[in-house]
Amino acid sequence: MGLVTTSSTITNHLTKTEKLTLTILVTGCSGFIGSHLVNRLIAKGGSKNYRIQCMTRNLKSIEGFFDEKGQDVKYVAADASKRSDLIKAMTGVDIAFYLIHSMEGSSKDWKKFAERDRIAAKNFAEAATECNVKRIIYLGGLVPDKNEQLKKQEELSEHMKSRIEVGEILKTSSAKVTIFRAAIILGQGGGSFQMLQYLVERLPLMITPKWVLTKSQPIALDDVITYLVKSIESDDTEDRSFDLGGPDVMTYIDMMRRYGKMCNKSIKIIIIPFLTPKLSSYWIDLITPVKASLARPLIESLKHEAVVRDDSIKNIIPFRLKTFEEAISIARKEENKQKNNIYKRKEFVTHSTNNKILLASLLLLAVIGSTYYLLDGRPEIFGTNWLILSGIWYFGIAFSIFFVRNGARLGAIIAGVIGWLTLTFWLIDNIYTVSGNSLLASSPGMEMTIRNFIGAVVAGFVVASSHNVFHKIRIYGL
């Protein structure tokens, strides 16, 4: 009996020791999922004493990113396309979270992400085997049932095919692989959520493709992180695949309307069946911070039904899942926190200042333009063609102001076009001061000539500030 007791005590002691010295590698630690996962692991480190190893291609991208609070956190620079980098990063690692994704890039070569993911997954699987990594935990996408695909005669998108392929490649390693397949993840910083957020908050009327009628089972980011972290402690999740979804099954159009209700907005939606993913991605690029190169594969994936078919994970890791509204509320609160961190950046002219300059310049441009009908005595400006052009010009300014105020790049583009056209127009109107003749109408008087030069300066401010706003919206994600 004494021997049995002693053996049991030693076993329990070793189990505790292993938990205390567990080394966890988080790839993509600066990304949407990775950053939240690291923060959760750090929070648990006080009781579990995990050794957390954060992997990223660029260490500067995560300087001051995490509040370590004295925890054992190590940072390593590694490129998944280089097997030698991965071996260095994975040496001594017990559990590796695979959160690498290559969808970002130029819209011209967005299809190449599948090949990049294939190479990264193959290198990772080989490095895991060589370094004797015990477990790999991978988060992929929730795909429709094969029978459902055959029934609807539709083929999986390249994005979904790649997510499945990565999981299969990882399983070739000697490690025990856990695969989680999630539907739309509702959290600040996620591409799918940002599309939803900015479309609802910025547009009074939406023209959408038919994929908004596809059913999905969105899940809160916080719940996804809970599943990932708790799977570390559960042997029942080893060498298995699980579907992840929240408590609500709904279409994308349902999500937009429920989100709009939370914002006290009545959403008007027009569905156009022939609107292609390519055109949709360009529209998303102009209205939201999500690049076309990321939006297109996401949109193509949204055409597939993403509903949980196997909910066995609920029995293994039981907890209350957040509702759609709860997930949205958390994400919106986090947005304010992220903005505060962004505004701490030191810049000569901030995004907020550029935005105010652009709005003020557009309003001043409209005021100066109205003086044509107050100060200019030339009869031509009251002609039909001039009045039509003036109406279009004023509409363009109003349209631009609306989208600039709502933080959409479309507003900056329109403002830039208006600025250049107005600058050119008023300078041409004053060309008589050099050539002796006006090209647009009869020569303006001295009062209008001075006004044209002042207006040209204001139009120059519109051009410069619209350029800055256009590029900084992408940086700030506002």
Q: In sequence order, what E strands does 168-307 have?
A: 176-182, 185-186, 205-208, 215-216, 219-220, 241-244, 250-251, 268-271
pTM assigned to the model: 0.77
**Tens-digit pLDDT profile for residues 354-394:** 888 899 999 999 998 888 777 776 777 777 888 898 899 99
* Type of residue at 389: L
CA gap 177, 125 in Å, rounded: 10
CA gap 172, 170 in Å, rounded: 5
Burial of residue 169, with CB atoms counted within 10 A of its CB: 0-12 exposed, 13-18 middle, 19 or more buried: buried
Burial of residue 395, with CB atoms counted within 10 A of its CB: 0-12 exposed, 13-18 middle, 19 or more buried: exposed
Query: Measuring CA to CA, which residue among 416, 422, 373 is closest to residue 393?
Result: 422
Burial of residue 286, with CB atoms counted within 10 A of its CB: 0-12 exposed, 13-18 middle, 19 or more buried: middle
Mean of pLDDT values over 27-45: 86
Residue with the larger pLDDT of the pair 206 and 36: 36
DSSP secondary structure letter of residue 305: -
For residue 470, pLDDT beyond 90: no
Residue 347 has a pLDDT of 47
DSSP H or E stretch at residue 51: strand 51-56
pLDDT tier, 338 (very low <50, low <70, confident <90, very high otherwise) = low
Look at the alpha carbons of 312, 313, 316, 318 in this order and tell me if their dihedral is positive or negative.
Answer: negative
How many residues would you count in the chain?
A: 478
Highest averaged pLDDT of the listed ranges 53-57, 267-271, 380-384: 53-57
DSSP secondary structure letter of residue 108: G
Neighbours of 228 (CB within 10 A): 26
Q: Which two tokens stand for residue 284?
A: 């998303």
CA gap 282, 279 in Å, rounded: 5
Residue 65 has a pLDDT of 63
End-to-end Cα, the chain, rounded Å: 67
**Tens-digit pLDDT profile for residues 434-456:** 666 666 767 777 877 888 888 88
**Tens-digit pLDDT profile for residues 212-224:** 888 889 999 999 9
Mean of pLDDT values over 204-209: 78
For residue 18, pLDDT beyond 70: no
Residue 236 has a pLDDT of 92
Residue with the larger pLDDT of the pair 406 and 102: 406
Q: Are 154 and 303 in contact (CB under 8 A)?
A: yes
**Tens-digit pLDDT profile for residues 100-152:** 886 554 445 556 777 888 999 999 999 999 999 999 999 988 877 655 544 44
Mean pLDDT, the chain, rounded, equals 80
Q: Regarding beta strands 73-77 and 51-56, do their DSSP bridges make them parallel or antiparallel, or are they unpaired?
A: parallel
Q: Which two tokens stand for residue 283?
A: 């529209």
Cα-to-chain-centroid distance, residue 372 = 44
**What is the SS3 assignment for 230-255?**
HHCCCHHHCCCEEEECCCCCEEHHHH
Mean of pLDDT values over 209-214: 82
For residue 342, pLDDT beyond 60: no
Residue 96 has a pLDDT of 95
Q: Regarding beta strands 215-216 and 250-251, do their DSSP bridges make them parallel or antiparallel, or are they unpaired?
A: antiparallel
C-alpha atoms less than 13 angstroms from C-alpha of 459 in its C-beta half-sphere: 20
Three-point CA angle 41, 191, 471, nearest 5°: 110
Residue with the larger pLDDT of the pair 429 and 460: 460
CA gap 170, 98 in Å, rounded: 9
Beta bridge partners of 178: 137
CA gap 192, 92 in Å, rounded: 35
Instruction: Give the distance between the most distant pair of CA atoms in the chain.
Output: 114
Question: Does domain 12-342 correspond to CATH entry 3.40.50.2300?
Answer: no
CA gap 383, 185 in Å, rounded: 56
Residue 157 has a pLDDT of 72
Beta bridge partners of 419: none
Residue with the larger pLDDT of the pair 349 and 164: 164
Q: Which two tokens stand for residue 348?
A: 């000569």
Burial of residue 444, with CB atoms counted within 10 A of its CB: 0-12 exposed, 13-18 middle, 19 or more buried: buried
